[in-house]
Amino acid sequence: MMLIAKRDESKCTRCGICEEIVACPAGEICNEEKCVGCGACYLACPNEAITLEEKPRKRHITIKIDGEKIQVPERITVRKALELAGYKISKFPGEGDIFAPCDVGACWSCAVKIDGEIKPSCVTAVREGMEIETEFDFTPRRIVHGWTGHPVGGVGTPWWIKGFRYIEVAVFACGCNLRCPQCQNWTTTYCGVGKTYTPREAALVMTNMRRIYGVDRMAISGGESTLNREWLIRYIAELKKLNPDENARFHVDTNATILTKDYIDELIEAGVTDIGPDIKGLKLETFMKITGIKDRELAEKYHKTNWKAVKYLIDLRDRIFVGIGIPYNRELISIEEVVKIGEKIYKLDPEVQVCVLDYRAEFRSKISRPSYEEMLKVWKALKDIGLKTVICQTSRGYIGP
Ligand code: SF4
Ligand code: SF4
Ligand code: FES
């Protein structure tokens, strides 16, 4: 299916987001004569003003993929060309030739060598005579941004250090594999522009930030931090090398949907000390609603991997700190389902930290924020199960220990 993007002027508020954060390979958002149908603007627009429509291409061009000449339609992405050439593009790691989870040019998991230069295939346009290589050696890169000091921390931050002074420094990895309508960090999730960093470069900046803020904890969140596995493992290892002291803590917050056991082992081996996986539903239907993943088979894989990761991480609590995030908003998940999640966690380990996040209207969602009283009800229901450490985020601050 060849696509082009169209803007519905009646829905467009001229917010400028698509111009600011989308790595449009056509160089101009929604120019029907130039669009290569990558879909990045369609994903990023908070007002759903952009649609993708099928439009066959008139001309074909010749490109080379791994030395083989092939004719492909003009004005498509390199990823689409790879797909047409028979390469399997997957949304779950290890299941295809190219793992392409974010679709916006942020995670660089889908990067290939294009005319001698490494570029993300999802937001690079084909052109006549282009040479593409899928096997090559290179130091991984990805877009990360927003280095900042954090007074609160994330899901994987122990409750007893949360306070009013800076407790950790954080960076945000752009790109995500989920499509949550209420994404609270969507200008990171759909950001395909900005500097790409090698693991070493990012670790150097983070180490400097640690010095500036005078803290010991260094966190990475997103978007989704785990998408480019090689990058993350090397980043943590570099960070540990630069911060060998015993006070240094290396914290990863994640949706844990591609976090397999071997990935977790590798992260711990590299140096991760604190991890905050989210759980986005007990039922698959809830998970699909919260994450916006419409492909049931894929959602099932993410959902299963998520729960397996949480169970495995809880088993490793003597080696690393684990804090689990659960969403709450009655329009997305019932209190009964949150309680069932709590009961499952209780059976695994009643002592593990659980943090309930009050989901609210962000990005495309119009849901209203749960009231303080409602969050208190959630907190009490989880405490009644016997869970020792329950923290609820509310409009009036945290309820918890
Ligand atoms: S992001 Fe959407 S609403 Fe904002 S300017 Fe672009 S098309 Fe318009
Ligand atoms: S971002 Fe992609 S889909 Fe949107 S206008 Fe540019 S090329 Fe077309
Ligand atoms: S899938 Fe292409 S950069 Fe993430």
The per-residue pLDDT for range 164-173, each reduced to its tens digit, is 578 899 999 9
Above pLDDT 70, what percent of the chain? 99
> Percentages helix, strand, coil for the chain, rounded to the nearest 5?
30, 25, 45
Q: What would the two tokens of residue 85 be?
A: 């050439």
pLDDT tens digits along 133-166:
999 999 999 999 999 998 777 777 787 776 657 8
φ/ψ region of 226 (left if φ > 0, alpha if ψ in -120 to 50, else beta) reads alpha
Q: Which is more confidently placed, 161 or 107?
A: 107
The domains located in the chain, with CATH, are 2-55 (3.30.70), 60-133 (3.10.20.30), 142-399 (3.20.20.70)
pLDDT tens digits along 330-342:
999 999 999 999 9
Q: Find where tokens 């090397």 sit.
A: 234
Question: What separation, in Å, do the N-terminal and C-terminal C-alpha atoms of the chain show?
Answer: 53
> Which residue ranges have their beta carbon within 6 Å of ligand 1?
7, 12-18, 45, 47, 49-50
106: Cβ below 6 Å to ligand 3?
yes
With the most atoms of ligand 1 within 8 angstroms of its CB, the residue from 29, 35, 47 to mutate is: 47
pLDDT, mean over the chain:
96
Mean pLDDT throughout 369-375?
Answer: 97
> Given this model, what pLDDT does residue 234 score?
98
Mean pLDDT throughout 224-248?
Answer: 98
State the pLDDT confidence band at 242, using cuts at 50, 70 and 90. very high
* Cα 34 to ligand 2 centroid, rounded to whole Å: 8
Q: What would the two tokens of residue 176 be?
A: 């995500």
* Cα 133 to ligand 2 centroid, rounded to whole Å: 24
pLDDT tens digits along 45-88:
999 999 999 999 999 999 999 999 999 999 999 999 999 999 99
> Given this model, what pLDDT does residue 109 score?
98
Integer angstrom CA distances of residue 88 from 69, 92, 305 = 18, 11, 21
Mean pLDDT throughout 241-268?
Answer: 98
**Residue 212, pLDDT above cutoff 80:** yes
Q: What would the two tokens of residue 163 be?
A: 């306070």
The Cα 383–Cα 377 span in angstroms is 10
> Given this model, what pLDDT does residue 164 score?
59
Q: What would the two tokens of residue 226 be?
A: 């785990």
Q: Is the pTM of this model over 0.95?
A: yes
The Cα 259–Cα 229 span in angstroms is 9
Residue 124 contacts residue 114 (beta carbons within 8 Å): yes
Cβ-proximal residues to 341 (8 Å cutoff; 6+ apart), any chain: 279, 281, 282, 326
pLDDT tens digits along 36-55:
999 999 999 999 999 999 99
Peptide bond just before 116 cis, omega within 30 deg: no
Least confident of 12-21, 143-152, 236-245, 346-355: 143-152
Atom of ligand 2 nearest to the CA of 30: 5
* Cα 28 to ligand 2 centroid, rounded to whole Å: 7
> Given this model, what pLDDT does residue 163 score?
64
